[in-house]
Structure 1
Amino acid sequence: MKIITVKDMYEADRWTMEEAGLDEIVLMENAGAALASSIQVGEGNGRVILAGKGNNGGDAIVMARRWAEQKIPFSLWLLCPPEKLRSAPRQHLNAYVAAGHSFTVLAPDTKELLAEELNVAHLIVDGMLGIGTKGAPREPYRTILQWANHSQAIRIAIDVPSGVSEDIHQGEVFKATRTITLQAPKTTAFHPRWTSFYGQVEVVDIGLPDKAFEKVEVRRQLWGQEQVRRTYPKRAPDAHKGTAGKACVFAGSFTMPGAAVLAGKAAIRGGAGLTTIVTPKSALPLIAPSLTEATYVAASDEDGHFSGELPALGSFDAITVGPGIGRRKGSALLVDQLLEAENVPLLLDADALYHLSEDVSRLKRRGSPTILTPHPGEMAQLCGVKVQDVQTERLNLSRRFCQEYGVFLVLKGPHTVVTTPSGEQFVNHSGNAALAKGGTGDVLTGVITAFMMSHGSVQAALCNAVWLHGKVAEVLVEEKHSLTDVTASDVIDGLPSVLRTVEK
């Protein structure tokens, strides 16, 4: 499913109306009908519909007419004089009135009544402001948003919560329990500033032809279970450890042996046929007893860390470097040498990204696939910007970086973004706050390492690994854990049950 910007949606609407000949009145009727059937109205009274002057208001008016015809009680509030409505919403209001239904216009003498209704409401539908909003909401919307957010009601937003904007601001925003998005999810749903305001997101079809979006260059899409099942490879009946992929993981140090254990275990659980851990000699006795399925190479050691001397290695199908290697000169030298490795995919994570940030131009010399897996802090260091800048421009910054340096990027966080060298982007929507724990990133690195060897496409490997990692966290919390007690080892232990559902 494609993820679209305001500009994309406007262009798709334009093509649908001008080229396909579907009138705006029809599209608004479709939207209102979809909303009316999607919202569970519950029992009793206390339903308040808030309609602004734009198209979201028109969608709300159509929905209100549908509810009225079904004898569902509600109060419809028009937040501007009827003559201020745009053309299509005004025509639908005329139809609503012609059908014998009533509404209330916000005015100085009705303002207190609205406040009272919102205070006792059990359902509030937000059709106030739409995707074209710029900047913080002004009055009367600011006060109405405050009233709605203080209510104990279920809060449903139409398309986007009112106040959400592609322009970042700190003003009032409708805090939705659920957002019913029209036709396609919007990029703002995945922005750190706005994600929490969306609540649960549902996408409904309002009748725009697929071709409308073909006319718009949309290169962002959601990646979920459907896409995972379609792209996840089946293991051949005659597979053996050699054909399942040989992984080499440079990880660990005397002070951080656990990172190597977690990444190695996850790679093995993820399907790697043979996994070799390269670690400093003094760290090996700390790692090997906890990871008996791997083989080991003891690297030369300097005070418990890599000395920088690259040990003699055989051939591998994927190389990973970073978890727990530290930030000393020896590990920096190690990263330098591995960046020169040809004809093998290379994944850089954690401390390897720190060393890479000293000169990211080295990435341009790579001939084989290169994968970076930064969290926002590491991404900020790679780009030479502040973390806030990364969070504000997650999608655009990731795309520019990948296109400039020719790499695959996994920008971690809620709604992890996978970006390809060509700039295509895939947004993950599995996972929860249980993953906010040290070591879970090492687990993801291990799973990606395994999937890089089993999948024919690097992009599918990254997207599937990210989804699986997040889905495990969801299952753990659903079945036996809380959001606070999940550990990285729990995530590894939870991989088999989710993998089993994917492989069926």
Structure 2
Amino acid sequence: MHVVTPFQMRRIDQRAIEEFGIPGIVLMENAALKTVELVFKYYPPYNWNYPYGSTSLNKNYKEDSGENTLVQAEKISNVLVVAGCGNNGGDGLAIARHLFLAGYNAAVFIVSEGGRKPKGDAGINLNALLSLQESYADSDALQIRWIEKRKDLFALQAALNKTHLIIDALFGTGLDRPVDGLYAAVIDLINEKQNGSRKAVPVVAVDIPSGINGESGKVMGTALRADHTAAYGYAKPGHLLFPGRDYAGRLHVVPISLPGDSAEYVQADMFTLSDEEAAGMLKIRPRNSHKGTFGRVAVIAGSTGMTGAAHLTAQAAMRSGAGLVTLGIPSSLNPIMEQKLTEVMTWPLEDKGSGHLVPESYQDAEKLLKDKEALAFGPGCGKNSGVLEILRNILGSFNIPIVIDADGLNHISRDMNLIRRHKAPVVLTPHPGEMARLTGLKVEDIVSRPVEIAAQMAKEYGCIVLLKGAASVVAEPGGRVYINASGTSGMAKGGSGDILTGMIASLIAQGYDTFDAAVLGCFIHGRAGEQAAGHLGETGMTAEYILNAIPHTFKGLYELTK
């Protein structure tokens, strides 16, 4: 699915209004209704009173499958909406109207600093809500209050003690300044209430959690943590990059009836994947196949003390569907790998008894690579100077796609022009520390600007860059950028990256486009990690369990294609 920046989203909205004649108030109403559906699904009301003709929506939510299924959830009655005075606040006011009419008690708090009031479409929704309150003057089920001074926070604090759900509609994705004043006080009060409670009140964020930058995912001074976020039209980078991804909770990208070519119109070059989209990228494995059909992978990895990296890389290549995998290993370590590996073949590389690659290893490596479709190079190779010598010869002499990781990256950082010399695709898979060595930048800069830095390197060196992290980024020279949404903290263990390297090399050997192989490998790697964590928990799982989960993950995705 496409990912658009806040600026691109503004252009999309503007085009829908000006060129297609879709009034802004209609887009706001569509956004509100989709958020209300989300609330119905996870936090249904005690007294269902949906006003539009029948209870068919209630019925559908009980009987439908998939995304429209009414989950097993505790029914609630009291909803608190905190709204700003901009369009995000207008969304919140429309949501409050629908929730009240559906049977919830709605307490609405509008934060107005400096006398500002909702205008335009937001003002229309405010007037509609005020009229509704007047019509139900004999009931206190709909309350509208203003927060204009610090003393008004006492009423909010009292309402927080009674509410069962909070709708966050203070700021949208365009926030580009630190949150301060009354807005910061409101956010801090809600966070304080959440942190001090035994059972935190769930929060549904309108488009993005207030206080999160929609471009970078950074916290702009302070921010609200949501359990669910309804992202309107498209996901934004701030939903997927940390810490914004943590604050967003479960992300729901909901349609608001924008023109279907909107992403193309703004030339959106970022995307992420759903399970269905990943499944759609998988190649059909024909029945009349043989092991050569699915590619031959070479792995050059390992040194004394690092045989595990070689084992994980080679096994990951095999378990990701390659027909044949051969591990090139320093010759003195070959007996160890012969015992550790069954399906993977080994190929001893001359090491002069050192347990490390030496310049003389290249002659054996040359023979290894003659009939291979992809090479995984670097995991556990060590710091010996022979590694760079072999890498230089391979990049200069062989027309083979290569995935370079770990020690391979550390060595190539000494001569980055080698990448340009290679006549076949190159995939670099650095973590932020390795990226710092490749670029000369500080780790903090890389972590704070992963999309920009990965894209810049991909363009400069004409290669695929997979910048690993909690939200890995894959960039290609043409400008496309993938932001990965799969994975778990349990994958922050030694060996996880080695597995990813083997997976990508395997997919390339099977005939996948190099960029697609990096994207798909990254996504499936994360899903396998999630599956491992589901069985063992994040604390105790190791890379070996990610390895074991790879076949199950592929199986699950292939089943989605049936």
TM-score, normalised via structure 2 length: 0.86
Residue equivalent to 1:434 = 490
1:116 to 158, 183, 202: 158
2:358 is matched with which residue? Answer: 307
Counterparts of 1:33 and 1:121, CA distance in 2:
21
In the other structure, the counterpart of 2:33 is 33
Give 1:63's aligned residue.
95
How far the C-alpha of 1:200 sits from its partner, in A, is: 0.9
SS of the counterpart of 1:446? helix
- Which of these residues, 337, 340, 356, is aligned with residue 287 of structure 1? 337
8 A contact 2:303–2:333 mirrored in 1 = yes
Identity of aligned residues (%): 31
Q: Distance in 2 between matches of 1:169 and 1:451?
A: 37
Structure 1 residues 255 and 391 mapped into 2: Cα distance closer, same or farther (>3 Å)?
same
* Map 1:466-481 → 2, pairs under 5 A: 466-478=522-534, 480-481=535-536
CA distance in structure 2 between the partners assigned to 1:118 and 1:359 by the alignment: 59
> Aligned residue for 2:201?
153
Given that 2:302 and 2:308 are in contact with CA atoms closer than 8 Å, whether structure 1 keeps it comes out as: yes
1:235 is displaced (CA, Å) by 1.8
Structure 1 contact 224–467 (Cα < 8 Å) conserved: no
CA distance in 2, matches of 1:278, 1:485: 31
1:328 and 2:328 correspond: no
For the aligned residue pairs, the C-alpha RMSD in angstroms reads 1.7
Contact between 1:119 and 1:147, CA under 8 Å: does it hold in 2? no
Task: Tell me, in whole angstroms, the C-alpha distance in 2 between the residues paired with 1:212 and 1:493.
Answer: 41
Which is worse superposed, 53-62 or 383-392?
383-392
Shift of the 341–487 alpha-carbon distance from structure 1 to 2, 3 Å rule, reads: farther
In 2, the alpha carbon distance for the partners of 1:77 and 1:134 equals: 23
> Quick check: 1:502 aligned with 2:560?
no
Cα contact 1:258–1:287 (8 A) shared by 2: no
Confirm or deny: 8 A CA contact 1:244 1:454 kept in the other structure. Answer: yes
Aligned mates of 2:156, 2:542 — CA distance in 1? 47
Q: TM-score, normalised by structure 1?
A: 0.96
Please state how far the C-alpha of 1:372 moved relative to its aligned partner.
0.8
1:176 aligned partner: 226
Match of 1:23 in 2: 23
CA distance in 2, matches of 1:305, 1:339: 20
Higher mean C-alpha displacement, 231-240 vs 108-117:
108-117
Alpha-carbon distance in 1 for matches of 2:499, 2:219? 35
Q: What is the match of residue 270 of structure 1?
A: 320
Q: Kindly report which structure 2 residues correspond to 1:222-237, keeping only aligned pairs within 5 A, or say none.
A: 222-237=272-287
2:83 corresponds in structure 1 to: 51
Q: Deviation string for 1:82-107 (max 9, x for gaps)?
A: 86213111111111122235411114
CA distance in 2, matches of 1:283, 1:34: 59
Residue 213 of structure 1: how far off its partner (Å): 2.6
Residue type at the aligned position of 2:103: K
- Supply the distance in 1 between the matched residues of 2:21 and 2:259 (Cα, whole angstroms): 11
The residue number in structure 1 matching 2:298 is 248
Counterpart CA distance in 2 for 1:215 and 1:401 is: 26
1:246: how far off? 1.3
Q: Secondary structure at the match of 1:192?
A: coil
Q: How many angstroms apart in 2 are the aligned matches of 1:221 and 1:193?
A: 18
2:122 matched residue in structure 1: 89
8 Å CA contact 2:219–2:244 kept in 1: the answer is no
Q: Secondary structure at the match of 2:554?
A: helix
| AA at the equivalent of 1:378 | E
Per-residue deviation at 1:502?
2.4
Residue equivalent to 2:546: 491
State the distance in 2 between where 1:477 and 1:435 align: 9
Matches within 5 A, 1:4-15: 4-15=4-15
Extract structure 1 runs of 4+ deviating beyond 4 A: 167-170
Check conservation: 2:349, 2:357, Cα contact below 8 A. Answer: yes
Q: 1:486 is matched by which residue type in structure 2?
A: M
Is the Cα contact below 8 Å between 1:119 and 1:148 reproduced in 2?
A: no
Shift of 1:476: 2.1
Q: Which stretch shows the higher mean deviation, 111-120 or 67-76? A: 111-120
Match of 1:350 in 2: 406
Q: What amino acid is aligned across from residue 338 of structure 1 in structure 2?
A: I
1:206 match: secondary structure: coil
One-letter code aligned to 1:41: Y
How far the C-alpha of 1:44 sits from its partner, in A, is 4.0
Amino acid at match of 2:550: L
**Please, which runs of 5 or more residues in structure 1 have no aligned partner?**
none
